[in-house]
Chains A and B, each alone.
Chain A
Amino acid sequence: DVKVTQSSRYLVKRTGEKVFLECVQDMDHENMFWYRQDPGLGLRLIYFSYDVKMKEKGDIPEGYSVSREKKERFSLILESASTNQTSMYLCASKVTGLNTEAFFGQGTRLTVV
Chain B
Amino acid sequence: AQSVAQPEDQVNVAEGNPLTVKCTYSVSGNPYLFWYVQYPNRGLQFLLKYITGDNLVKGSYGFEAEFNKSQTSFHLKKPSALVSDSALYFCAVRPMEYGNKLVFGAGTILRVKS
Chain A 76-113 interface residues, beta-carbon cutoff 8 Å to B: 90, 92, 94, 96, 98-99, 101-107
Q: How large is the interface on A (under 10, 10 to 19, 20 to 34, 35 or more residues)?
A: 20 to 34
Report the tally of A-B residue pairs with Cβ distances under 8 A. Answer: 57
Asked, given contacts A90-B44, A98-B94, whether A40 binds B49 with beta carbons under 8 Å apart, the answer is no
Asked, given contacts A98-B94, A99-B49, A104-B43, whether A58 binds B101 with beta carbons under 8 Å apart, the answer is yes
Please, which residues of chain B bring their CB within 8 A of the CB of A101? 34, 46, 49
Asked, given contacts A42-B90, A99-B32, whether A104 binds B104 with beta carbons under 8 Å apart, the answer is no
Q: Distance in Å from the Cβ of B63 to the closest Cβ of chain A? A: 14
Chain A 1-56 interface residues, beta-carbon cutoff 8 Å to B: 4, 9, 31, 33, 35, 40-45, 48, 50
Asked, given contacts A48-B100, A101-B34, whether A43 binds B45 with beta carbons under 8 Å apart, the answer is no
Asked, given contacts A43-B90, A98-B32, A99-B32, whether A104 binds B45 with beta carbons under 8 Å apart, the answer is yes
Q: How far is the CA of A22 from the CA of B105 in the complex (A)?
A: 25
B100/A94 in contact, CB under 8 A = yes
Q: How far is the CA of A58 from the CA of B102 in the complex (A)?
A: 10
Interface residues of A (CB under 8 A from B): 4, 9, 31, 33, 35, 40-45, 48, 50, 58, 90, 92, 94, 96, 98-99, 101-107
